[in-house]
Structure 1
C-alpha cells in the first residue's frame, strides 16, 4: 500500500511547473477544450475493451484466475492513516477475488494541492474511493477522465443494480446531467432522519423550575430566565442563553419552516422549490432573531467568534455557560458539562407546526463514493470488485469494522457492536477499523432491522434522539447536480449574492432594520442576477425529479 507524502507532492508540482507556465488549466480548462475532450473520449472508448480476457469471470469467485492489481486512491480525514486496510473483510475480499489492492491513502489536509496536480498531469489511479476526493464539479469538468458506469452496473454489478431497483434514490442521486452515471452511491447503515436538533441545559431548567420549551414564546421565556436568574449558580451574569455557529440564525429559523440542509438557501414549500432569503418566513424569522439578540439572549459574539472561541465557551472549565443550542448529540461539544444537556423536540412555529432539518429518507445517502478512471485497464474487474461492497454484511463491516473484530454476529441473525479497547472512543475505533463514512455501501431498510445498537452512545444514541424529531423532518431541496455551463455561472452569481445575504443577515440580527430595508434588499438581489441563480436551481431540480 502507498501513503502519498508532502515531499511526493512537491516533486510532482515541480515537474509540472512548465505545464502551469504554459497556461494549462487544472479543472474547468481540462474540459473546456473540445478537441482535447474528443481525443480523450476516443481514448476512453479504446480503453473500454477488457484486457482481462479469459482470465475474468462475470460471476462467482474468484473474479480473475490470475491476480490483478488495482491502484485505489482514498482520502482520509487529518492523520487517520491506513489502519482501515487491515479490516478482515477487505483482506478476505482480496484473497477470494484475486483482485489485489494497492491503497494510496492521502490526508485531507494535503489533498487540495495534490488533486490539482493529479488532474493537470492526467496521471490517475485506477479507482477512487470516497467522496472527499472529487466533488460534482470536479467530475463534470473532467468527464474524459472518468468512465461512464451504466453498462458495467447492468452487466457486472447485480448487488448495486438490485439496490437501485429497491431504492430508486440511489440512481437519481448518481445520474449526471448528461444522463450517465460516472460515480457510484452509498446508503450508510442505521443513520438518523434528523440532522442537528435543539439541545437545552436540563440542569438549568430544573433549577429554575421550568419545563422544556415547546413553542417560540416558551423558548423566549426560557432564554430570558437563563439570562436573568443565574442558573449555573456562580453568582455571575455570565450565562449565554443561546449560542451556536456563525450562522446561528439559520438554526433558529427552523420553526419558521426554513430548513436549509444543502446550505444553498433553497427549500421545498408546498411541493415546489423556493429561494427562502426573499420569503416572508425569512423576514419574520430574522426579525424574531433580532428581538432575541437585542435583549442579550443570543451570544453577542455570534458573528465574530471563531471555532476556538466557541469551544472555549462550550467547555468553560469553571461552569456551564450555554443554555440552548442545536447539535447532533449533546455529548459531542459540551465536554465535562455534557450530562447537563438533553435533546428536545423541535420548537413549534407561529403556524402551529414543527419543522426538523433532515432527510425523510434518512441521512444515509452519498454519491461519488466510487470512480473508475479511464486509466483503468480492468474496468469490468473493478466493477465486480466494487459490487461486493453492496450487501448488508459488507456495508456494516465497512462502516464499523469486521465481524469478529468490531461486530458480533449473533445466532438469531442480528448484529451488535463490540466494545472498543480501553481508552479508545467508539467513533475513533470505527474510523480506524473501516472505511466508515466513505466508500460503496448499501444497507437496506430491511437489513437495518437486524442491527442492534447501544442507545446510550455513538450511532445508537443519535437514533434514539432522532425519535424526537424524525416525524417532523421536512422535504429538503434535493442533492442536485449541475451542467458544466451552470458550474461556470454559479461562482460568479454566488460570490456577490451570498456575501450580500450574509452581511445583511448579520446586520439585521444585531442592529435591526429589516422592515425598512426589505424592499431595497430584494431589489439589489435581483440586480445581482438572482433570477438567473434561481433558474439554475430550478433547472437542476427539474432534471433530478425527471430521472427514472
Structure 2
C-alpha cells in the first residue's frame, strides 16, 4: 500500500521462495493447463482425446510476481476473480511467486540466465535500471496496446499523467501502469501524538513546532505514562534503516518544509523548482532543531543504532506504547494494539508559518512496471487482452480488496461493500492476503468511488476519515515531493554512480550532526565536499528529467 505501510509486512516472517518451474515461452501444453469438463455419452477414450486437445488449445503463460512476505497466502491467484478472468480469456496462468527477502538474488539469476517467464507482474519486480540494462529481454508495447487494450487506451485519454508515466524518454512503452483507487489527499504518513500522555500531563495538542518540542520534552521527562518512572518514555524513536534521513525529511523535520521524494533521491520541489534538500538552508535549520531535541533526551538515544524489531517493541509495548510521537500511514500500522492511545496530529506550523504535509500520490498511487512482457512470450496479444480487463472499476475493486462475494459484497443496486475480515485479521492484512493489492495493472474511475463503502474503523476507512485533519493543507503547501520522472539509460547509469556516494555521505552527516552537533561550523566544508562528489552533475540530470516530465505532461 504505502512504502512504510508495505515495509511493516517484512517483520511478519522470514520469506522463502516458493518452488515453481520456470517455463520459457507460452502457448505450450506443459504445466497446469485447464481440463475440459466431461460430457455425458462420450466413451472414456473419446473423452480423453477431447481433453488433451482442449488442453493443448489453452495457452499457458508463466508470470513471475513478488510478495512482501510468505505469511500472506497466494490461494487467491487460483480462485475468485483471478481465475474467472483466466476463464473469460481462455488462458492458463502459471504464477511463479517469489518473496522480497530473496528476490534480489533470484532476480539477478533470472536476468543473467535469460531463462525468463512470459511476464513480470507488479512494480516491485523490476526497477528502471533492470529494464534499461536488459531492454532486449522485453517487448515494446505501444502498437500492441493500441491493438489489444481499449480499456487502457481510454484511461490514457482520461489521465495524461498515466500515459506520461508509461512512456520512457524515447516515447516507448515497455510496461503497463496503475493508479490506486480510494486514496486520501494526504497520500503518505502523518504524525500521530500520544493523546493518553497529553491527558496524563494536562497538556494541549501542540499547534506550532515550538509547542511540539515542549510537549515532547514533557513526555520524555515527566512520567507521561504514569508508571512512576520518568525515564522510560521516549519522545521520538527510529531505526538504523538506510533511509532514516529520507523518512525524517518527510515526517519529523517536515515543519521546516523538507518534503522529498519517496524515491530516496532527496529531491523536492520548492515553489515548483527542483532542489536537493540536504543543501538547503531550511534543511540545516531542521537538523539543528532535531539535534537540540536529541541533546534534551527527546530523541531515542538508539535512534541511529537499533534494528527495526527493537523500534517496534517500543511502539507496541505490552501495557502501552513507550513513544510519544510516531510517523505512520495509520496509527495501528505502527503501534498495533496501542493505536487507541494516539490521535492524528494536525500539521503544526513551521518557521515559515505554513503547514507542510506529504502528498506522494505520484509515487504511491501511480506507477509503471506493473506488467512487462518478455521476448519469450508467444502470442502476447492474448495476454495483453487479459491484462486490459484489469482496467475496469470492478476488476480494480477486486484486485485491491479481494473477490466478490468473499471479501466484497455486491449489494445488487450498483453499490459494493468491502467486508470486515471474519478471521479476526485486519482489513489491511486481508487485502494483501486476498488480492494483488498495490501491485499490477488497475484503474478505477473516480465517479465509481462513491459506490464503494469501506469499514470506518479499518485500514483505508480510517485513513480516509482522518484525511480531513490535514487534507486541507495539501493545496497551500509550496514544498512537495519531486515527481517520479523518467531518465535516459545514460542518466540512470550516471545517477547510480553519483548518487551512491552522495547519499551515503549526507546520511552519515545527518546522523553525526544530530548526535554530535557542529553543523554550523562544518556546513561550508560539507557543501564543498558534495560539489567535489559531483552534486552539480546530479542536479543537472534531475533538472533535465524534470523538464522532460513537464513536457510529457504538456506543461
Give TM-score, length-normalised by structure 2.
0.85
Specify which of 46, 64, 71 is matched with residue 73 of structure 1. Answer: 64
Residues 319 and 103 (structure 1), Cα distance of their counterparts in 2 relative to 1, 3 Å cut: closer
Q: Distance in 2 between matches of 1:161 and 1:449?
A: 24
8 Å Cα contact 2:278-2:506 kept in structure 1: yes
Pairwise CA distance, 1:318: 4.6
Unaligned runs of 5+ in 1: 13-46, 52-64
Is the aligned partner of 1:536 residue 2:541? yes
Q: Distance in 1 between matches of 2:210 and 2:452?
A: 40
Query: Could you say which residue in structure 2 is the equivalent of 1:483?
Result: 488
Query: Could you say which residue in structure 2 is the equivalent of 1:201?
Result: 194
8 Å Cα contact 2:220-2:298 kept in structure 1: yes
Pairwise CA distance, 1:212: 1.2
8 Å Cα contact 1:244-1:325 kept in structure 2: no
8 Å Cα contact 2:220-2:233 kept in structure 1: yes
More deviation, 520-529/335-344: 335-344
Query: Could you say which residue in structure 2 is the equivalent of 1:22?
Result: none
8 Å Cα contact 2:415-2:452 kept in structure 1: yes
8 Å Cα contact 1:240-1:323 kept in structure 2: yes
Q: Distance in 2 between matches of 1:111 and 1:213?
A: 43
More deviation, 471-480/448-457: 471-480
Q: Distance in 1 between matches of 2:435 and 2:137?
A: 28
Specify which of 523, 545, 550 is matched with residue 545 of structure 1. Answer: 550
Q: How many residues are paired up?
A: 497
Specify which of 236, 239, 260 is matched with residue 242 of structure 1. Answer: 236
8 Å Cα contact 1:86-1:433 kept in structure 2: no
Q: Distance in 2 between matches of 1:74 and 1:349?
A: 43
Residues 126 and 319 (structure 1), Cα distance of their counterparts in 2 relative to 1, 3 Å cut: closer
Specify which of 486, 497, 500 is matched with residue 502 of structure 2. Answer: 497
Pairwise CA distance, 1:5: 5.3
Pairwise CA distance, 1:166: 1.0
Matches within 5 A, 1:203-222: 203-222=196-215
Query: Could you say which residue in structure 2 is the equivalent of 1:37?
Result: none
Moved over 6 A (4+): 6-9
8 Å Cα contact 2:349-2:355 kept in structure 1: yes
Query: Could you say which residue in structure 1 is the equivalent of 2:149?
Result: 157
Q: Distance in 2 between matches of 1:465 and 1:261?
A: 23
More deviation, 449-458/420-429: 420-429
Secondary structure of the structure 2 residue equivalent to 1:297 = coil
Pairwise CA distance, 1:199: 0.6
Secondary structure of the structure 2 residue equivalent to 1:456 = coil
Query: Could you say which residue in structure 1 is the equivalent of 2:515?
Result: 510
Query: Could you say which residue in structure 1 is the equivalent of 2:172?
Result: 180
Secondary structure of the structure 2 residue equivalent to 1:230 = coil
Pairwise CA distance, 1:6: 7.1
Unaligned runs of 5+ in 2: 1-15, 29-55
Residues 412 and 211 (structure 1), Cα distance of their counterparts in 2 relative to 1, 3 Å cut: farther
Query: Could you say which residue in structure 2 is the equivalent of 1:233?
Result: 226
Query: Could you say which residue in structure 2 is the equivalent of 1:121?
Result: 113
Pairwise CA distance, 1:424: 3.0
8 Å Cα contact 2:403-2:434 kept in structure 1: yes
